[in-house]
C-alpha cells in the first residue's frame, strides 16, 4: 500500500530509462482510463457512481506503481554522486517492509491488485536499498540507525510473515492485515511532521506538489476500492488516513504557498 509521505527533494533530471518506465506506466494507466471512459459513456447518469467505483478499482494498482517510482531521482543522485549524503535509508527500508506485508496479505486474501502493485513496490524498494547500501558507509549511524540494523529489521519482518503465511493459522490474513495497518500508521509520522513544520513556518515549500497530488489520487482510488469493492477495513482505513494527510497538505500548499520561511504571521 502506498501512503502519503515526504521524500527528499532533489533537482536531478530523470534519466531516459526512468522516463521510459514512467511513460510505460502512464501509458497503461491512460489506456485503462480511456477504456473505462468509453464504458461510462454508454451508461446512464444513474450508474455514474458505479462507473466511478469501477474506475477507482481499475486505476488503483497503476497509481500505486507511480508512487513507488517517486524515489528514482533521489536514487539516481546517490548512484551518480556515489554517496548517500544526508539522505536517510528509512524511506526505502520501510517501503520493503510495508510492501512485503501487503504482498503477503494480498496473496492470502486472493487480491491480485493488492499483491501485484505492492510486488512492484517490493522489487523497487529492494533496488533502492541495494543502491543506497552500496554507496553508504557501513559506519553510518544516522539513517536513522545503521545499515545492519535496517537489514535485520527487514529480514525479521519478511521471515515472520513468511512463517505466518505458511503456519496454517486460520486468521493469518487478518493478523498480517492489521500488521500492515499498524505499519502504515507509523509511516504517517513523516507527513504529520511535515504538516507541523508548514504550520509553524507558514511556508509550504517543503511539500512536493506533484507527489502530494499523486498520493491524493492513489489514496482516493484505494479507499474507494477497499470500501466499495472489497469491503476490507485493512485496505480502506489506512488509505483514508493517507487521503486525509494528502488533503491537509494540499490545503496548506494552497494557503501558504512557497514563500520563504520565517515571514510574519497574518491574522
**C-alpha span between 189 and 195 (Å, rounded):** 10
| Residue 56 CB neighbours (<10 A) | 22
- Residue closest to 142 by CA, chosen among 84, 199, 185: 84
Per the CB < 8 A criterion, the answer to whether 15 and 75 are in contact is no
Closest among 220, 196, 198 to 207, alpha carbons compared: 198
Per the domain annotation, does 74 fall within a domain?
no
Q: What is the pLDDT of residue 194?
A: 76
**Distance (Å, whole) CA 132 – CA 88:** 9
Locate the DSSP E strands across 84-236: none
What are the phi and psi torsion angles at 44 (to 5°)?
-70, 165
Rounded-to-integer distance, Cα 97 and Cα 155, Å: 9
For the beta carbon of residue 89, count every other beta carbon within 10 angstroms: 23
Does 115 map to a domain?
yes
Q: Is the dihedral of CA 36, 37, 40, 42 positive or negative?
A: negative
**pLDDT the model gives residue 116:** 97
Question: Residue 204 falls within a domain, yes or no?
Answer: no
pLDDT the model gives residue 202: 85
Question: CB of 25 within 8 A of CB of 18?
Answer: no
In a domain, 119, yes or no: yes
Spell out the residues 6+ positions from residue 32 whose beta carbon is closer than 8 angstroms to its own. Answer: 58, 59, 62
DSSP 46: G
Nearest one of 233, 227, 249, 197 to 4, comparing CA atoms: 249
Which pLDDT tens digits describe the chain residue by residue (267 residues)?
Answer: 554 444 444 443 444 444 445 554 555 555 555 555 555 555 555 588 899 999 999 999 999 999 999 999 999 999 999 999 888 999 999 999 999 999 999 999 999 999 999 999 999 999 999 999 999 988 888 888 899 999 999 999 999 999 999 998 889 999 999 999 999 988 887 777 778 888 888 888 878 888 889 999 999 999 999 999 999 999 999 999 999 999 999 999 888 877 665 544 444
- In which element (H, E) is residue 261 found? none
- The three cell numbers of residue 149 are 540494523
Q: How many domains are contained in the chain?
A: 1
pLDDT of residue 10: 40
Which three-class secondary structure state does DSSP give residue 145? strand
Domain with 169 in it: 83-176
Asked, for residue 116, whether it belongs to a domain, the answer is: yes
Residue 143 in any domain: the answer is: yes
Give domain status of residue 108, yes or no.
yes
CA distance 105 to 231: 15
69: in domain: no
Amino acid at each position: 500500500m502506498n501512503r502519503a509521505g515526504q521524500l527528499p527533494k532533489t533537482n536531478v533530471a530523470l534519466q531516459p530509462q526512468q522516463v521510459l518506465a514512467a511513460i510505460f506506466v502512464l501509458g497503461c494507466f491512460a489506456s485503462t482510463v480511456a477504456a473505462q471512459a468509453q464504458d461510462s459513456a454508454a451508461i446512464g447518469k444513474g450508474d455514474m457512481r458505479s462507473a466511478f467505483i469501477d474506475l477507482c478499482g481499475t486505476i488503483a494498482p497503476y497509481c500505486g506503481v507511480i508512487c513507488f517510482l517517486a524515489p528514482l531521482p533521489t536514487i539516481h543522485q546517490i548512484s551518480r554522486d556515489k554517496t548517500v549524503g544526508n539522505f536517510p535509508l528509512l524511506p526505502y527500508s520501510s517501503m520493503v517492509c510495508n510492501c512485503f506485508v501487503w504482498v503477503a496479505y494480498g496473496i492470502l486474501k486472493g487480491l491480485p491488485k493488492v499483491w501485484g502493485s505492492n510486488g512492484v513496490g517490493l522489487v523497487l524498494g529492494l533496488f533502492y536499498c541495494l543502491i543506497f547500501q552500496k554507496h553508504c558507509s557501513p559506519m553510518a549511524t544516522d539513517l536513522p540507525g545503521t545499515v545492519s540494523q535496517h537489514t535485520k529489521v527487514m529480514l525479521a519482518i519478511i521471515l515472520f510473515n513468511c512463517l505466518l503465511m505458511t503456519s496454517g493459522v486460520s486468521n493469518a490474513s487478518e493478523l498480517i492485515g492489521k500488521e500492515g495497518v499498524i505499519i502504515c500508521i507509523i509511516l504517517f509520522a513523516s507527513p504529520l511532521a511535515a504538516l507541523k513544520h508548514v504550520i509553524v513556518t507558514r511556508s509550504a515549500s517543503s511539500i512536493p506538489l506533484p507527489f502530494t497530488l499523486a498520493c491524493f489520487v492513489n489514496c482516493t482510488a484505494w479507499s474507494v476500492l477497499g470500501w466499495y469493492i472489497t469491503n476490507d477495513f485493512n485496505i480502506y482505513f489506512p488509505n483514508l488516513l493517507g487521503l486525509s494527510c494528502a488533503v491537509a497538505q494540499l490545503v496548506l500548499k494552497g494557503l501558504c504557498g512557497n514563500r520563504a520561511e520565517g515571514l510574519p504571521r497574518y491574522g
